[in-house]
Amino acid sequence: MHVVETGRRVAVLAIDPSSHLSGGSILGDKTRMDELSRHPSAFVRPTPAGRMLGGVARRTREAILICEAAGFDVVIVETVGVGQSEATVASMVDVFLLLIAPGGGDELQGIKRGIVELVDLVVVNKSDGDLKAAAGRIAADYHAALGLLRSLSSHWQPEVLQCSALKRSGIAEVWQSVERCIDSLREGGELDRRRALQLREWMSLEVTEGVLESLRRDPEVATLRKTLEGDVAAQRALPPVAARQIHEAFFRRR
């Protein structure tokens, strides 16, 4: 809401977790973002994560391009949630922001190094009321952790900020930090290099996913796989050996 009120057009691509049993997702982000979803300068699109790991959906990159083509100059990708493996979004955005809520166990779990090594900004929300002191402590912990890690950028040092969505305090400062980060990366030429690397990674992912999809659709491989699954379940074959047979059968016919 702060960003659209500055005159920008904002698209939010929110990724929802999918059920491992039914494959369904709640997709309730428009209800949660009730003000933003009604704003004429905003677009909110919830998407199920499906089988995709890393906190994003299979076609999030394409969705970003479509939003840009539609005239949205700010695209926010909200991942499934915080986890060590949910860093795939870093390979598709200009600024990677880690949002932390105090009182949720992060103080006890320790620093999420897998993500912190990649972040450009750490923002501690709920810095108000009874949680204000806890928010200050966790912000100090992350600030200390970032000081021990080598920054991936030579033009930007990751920052730690506090805000309160409830009180709407600190929001302007967070956005100012985002803009400073982008300006610093652009001036140093790093933004272009980062985007070029992301495009190469995107191509590699498409190659991998394309091979997997072809393997899944191959009728002869499907028949062999069903037989081998029975052998594996009956302990007549080890899973790595069965997998190698499927690979060989698939690529031999190419």
Q: Which of 20-24, 87-91, 212-216, 232-236 has the highest mean pLDDT?
A: 232-236
Give the total number of structural domains in the chain.
2
Mean residue pLDDT across the chain: 85
CA distance 44 to 34: 10
**Is 102 within the bounds of a domain?**
yes
Instruction: Tell me how far CA of residue 97 lies from CA of 12, 109, 178, 192, 231, in angstroms.
Output: 14, 19, 9, 19, 46
CATH number at residue 13: 3.40.50.300
Q: Look at residue 58 and tell me whether its pLDDT is greater than 90.
A: no
Question: 36 with 143, same domain?
Answer: yes
Single out the residue in 140, 160, 188 at which a domain terminates.
188
pTM of the model: 0.81
pLDDT score of 34: 85
Going 87 to 90 to 92 to 96, the CA torsion angle's sign is positive
Amino acid at 55: G
Q: Look at residue 18 and tell me whether its pLDDT is greater than 60.
A: no
Question: 232 with 113, same domain?
Answer: no
The least confident of 101-110, 143-152, 202-211 is 101-110
What is the extent of the structural domain holding 141?
Answer: 2-188
Q: Residue 10 — left, alpha, or beta (φ > 0 → left; ψ -120 to 50 → alpha)?
A: beta
**Is 244 within the bounds of a domain?**
yes
Question: 64 with 99, same domain?
Answer: yes
Single out the residue in 154, 188, 222 at which a domain terminates.
188
**Is 194 within the bounds of a domain?**
no
Question: 208 with 179, same domain?
Answer: no
The least confident of 74-78, 111-115, 224-228 is 111-115
pLDDT score of 202: 87
